[in-house]
Structure 1
Amino acid sequence: MVAAQHRISSGSDFTRALKHGARVTTRDLIVHVARPGTFPVDLTSMDLSGGPGPRDDVATSGGPRLGLIVSKAVGNAVTRHRVARRLRAAFREVTVLIPAETLVVVRARPSADGPNSVTLAGQLRSALEHRRVRALLTESQPVARPAETVVP
């Protein structure tokens, strides 16, 4: 189970990841990955009175945040919950590949009920290791510059 503070629950975070993130498609999954510094900030939605905007009850550091989209096209409720459990378990295995504060939205395609948990975990791992995702994750991290040496 992914801890509640590491789940994406607001619609605005889903929208940001879907619109501004890197998208990678595998056989059974569509994975969107976004870093907080890679999408424009809507200052009008930031309300300090507790309205839309940054939430206090959601972790902003300490690990990546996961959002799942498992539609009725995947199957009935039992099937959708089984796929969601498999995807959460797969996400726990690959969190070491993802920097903190990263938004990851996984959309299950209709064929996602067929493969077992190991196969889904492999597809999620390959999506997160894709060059588009790697480029996004490395571009938004600060680049360490070597110290300049002064030659007398």
Structure 2
Amino acid sequence: MLPAGSRLTRRDEFASVVRRGRRSGRSRLVVHLHRTAEGDCGRRAGFVVSRAVGNAVVRNRVARRLRHLVAPRLRQLPPDALLVVRALPPAAGASSAELAQDLDGGLRGALRKLSGARGE
């Protein structure tokens, strides 16, 4: 499970990551990754699962799977990383393994774009 201190909770945090972060899309989800200024609180993640994904039961299931998948991967991100994972409608019928595959691919793509933008 994702600890409370590792979650994005405020709307302006989500908006900032989506607007300023690097995006990498897959068939079932889109990953937005942003690095904050040094000194901000560490790695945090948030999830966007809209009504387009399905009814409340389906949305909660998708969000729960994504939280479970992101928790161990969060430690692999830079210490000042903020992550938003946005589920797309095909995520409703996806298995956890398929979501994990898309998440890993999205994180690799976003990290590559982030590193290229910073010249690392």
Do these two structures clear the TM 0.5 threshold for a shared fold by scoring above it? yes
**TM-score normalized with structure 2 length:** 0.88
- Alignment gaps of 5+ in structure 1: 38-58, 144-152
Q: Secondary structure at the match of 2:41?
A: coil
Structure 1 position 83, deviation (Å): 0.1
Q: Secondary structure at the match of 1:23?
A: strand
- Note the 1:1-150 alignment, pairs <5 A: 1-37=1-37, 60-61=41-42, 64-130=43-109, 132-137=110-115
Structure 1 position 134, deviation (Å): 2.4
Higher relative contact order, chain-length normalized (CA < 8 Å, sep 6+)? 2
- Alignment gaps of 5+ in structure 2: none
State the Cα deviation string for residues 17-71 of structure 1 (Å, max 9, x = none). 010000111010011000003xxxxxxxxxxxxxxxxxxxxx812xx21110001
Which is richer in helix?
A: 2
Contact 1:71 1:80 in 2 (8 A): yes
Alignment RMSD, CA only? 2.2
For residue 147 of structure 1, what is the aligned residue in structure 2? none
Contact 1:21 1:34 in 2 (8 A): yes
Contact 1:93 1:121 in 2 (8 A): no
Identity %: 37
Q: Judging changes above 3 Å, is the alpha-carbon distance between structure 1 residues 95 and 137 closer, same or farther for their aligned structure 2 residues?
A: farther
- Count of matched residue pairs: 119
- Structure with larger Rg: 1
